[in-house]
Amino acid sequence: MVLNYIWIAFFIIAFIIALIRLIFLGDVEVFPAMMDSTFSSAKTAFEISLGLTGVLSLWLGVMKIGERGGVVNALARLLSPVFVKLFPDIPKGHPVTGSIFMNIAANMLGLDNAATPLGLKAMKEMQELNTKKDTATNPMIMFLVLNTSGLTLIPVSIMVYRTQLGAADPTDIFIPLLVATFFSTLGGIIVTSIYQKINLLNKTILLTLGSMIIAVGLIIWGFGQMDDATMQLVSSLAANILLMSIIIAFILAGLRKKVNIYEAFIEGAKDGFKTAVTIIPYLVAILVGIGVFRASGAMDWMIDGLAWCVDRIGVSSDWVGAMPTALMKPLSGSGARGMMVDAMTNYGADSFIGRLSCIFQGSTDTTFYILAVYFGSVSVRNTRHAVAAGLWTDLIGVVAAIFVAYLFFG
């Protein structure tokens, strides 16, 4: 529903801006430019979607091997001691704990098709523990904030889009995105814990989060000691080594579980093909809307206005061009994806704005969509502090993404 209003707004605002430019500025080229943008944007969307097929099939095939090999279960067991502390209202040993762990683990691996059913199952089981059926419980809200924080180990789709749009090294945003999404998740946990009065000062939480903070701090410190060329070389090399290691680890996990590796890969690859075909109409719709919005001059006015405000307070405005992706992400995943593609198309996949838009896309998730689907599935109307905690998490992710982008690519 939200995307419906956004899409309509693109056309109406674009038409009004175009009329203003025609009547008051005498710009007779604006309407032809808008019409040209509809055709060129539709063509671009189809070409991108078609190009996604092979790479998306490859990665979803690899993911299916990892899923069958028990990697999701292994991650769930690894996260168990921490999650028990974050969900104190859930009775120890309750089956919902397993669903929560599996959902988060699947999200971390980018297994959206597996993560959503597991998430809905977790919400249903948490609703069974809920004494006020129309009101969100603390565990529900913590669970959804962890989902909206967008913690993902392997940002497959973003790297695929970068490949299609001509990035010299599509994986160069891998390490920066991991750092940004870590801060988003950490911020979400802290904010929600404050709302729910959860004590984070216990041995398990402090040891886990402390170790992760130290690791991320060392990454930031280490890259901060390098010059730009060395930093990008090391970041790219580390990302590619890590990704290849994950592929090998998934294959070895499959062999250990005596999985038919080839058949598992084919099954996942089929899902990748279906996914690539499925997104064609959505990508065409959103890119045409954005194309018209940009051709009318509305996008430039919006970005220039924001840049002017930022400049007035004495802050660099280099990052402003990527903000449409950040502003769209809480509302719509496909809308934000379209903004990311638009940024890379217009500024270049290897530009600062192009890379930052990718980090924005991966550092948080679609807050309102997740809240609507998950709460709607159990008929919860009173969401309490869920929206506030989710939006604070988004803000932390945006700030972290800007900082990390300047560190790696500024």
Q: Is the CB of residue 150 less than 8 Å from the CB of residue 184?
A: yes
Length of the chain: 410
- From CA 36, how far away is CA 288, in angstroms rounded? 10
For residues 68 and 254, the answer to whether their CB atoms sit within 8 Å is yes
CB 372 within 8 A of CB 334: no
Residues 220-227: contacts with CB within 8 Å, 24+ apart?
220/179, 220/407, 223/407, 223/408, 224/407
Q: Amino acid letter at 295? A: A
In the DSSP assignment, the letter for residue 320 is G
Handedness of CA 70, 73, 79, 80 (dihedral sign): negative
User: Residue 159: its pLDDT value, please?
Assistant: 81
Q: Which helix (H) or strand (E) holds 334?
A: helix 333-347
Q: Which residues contact 225 (CB under 8 A, 6 or more apart)?
A: none
pLDDT for 245 equals: 85
Max CA distance (Å), the chain: 71
**What residues in the chain have per-residue pLDDT under 50?**
none
- Distance in angstroms (rounded) separating the CA atoms of residues 206 and 26: 63
Question: Nearest 5 degrees, angle CA 192-CA 145-CA 353?
Answer: 110
**pLDDT value at residue 20:** 94
pLDDT at position 17: 94
Beta bridge partners of 135: 382
Rounded to the nearest angstrom, the gap between the alpha carbon of residue 96 and the centroid of all alpha carbons in its chain is: 25
Euclidean distance between CA atoms 379 and 210, whole angstroms:
37
Contact 279, 52 (CB under 8 A): yes
Report CA-CA distances (Å) from 308 to 173, 316, 320. Answer: 28, 10, 10
Residue 109: the pLDDT is 65
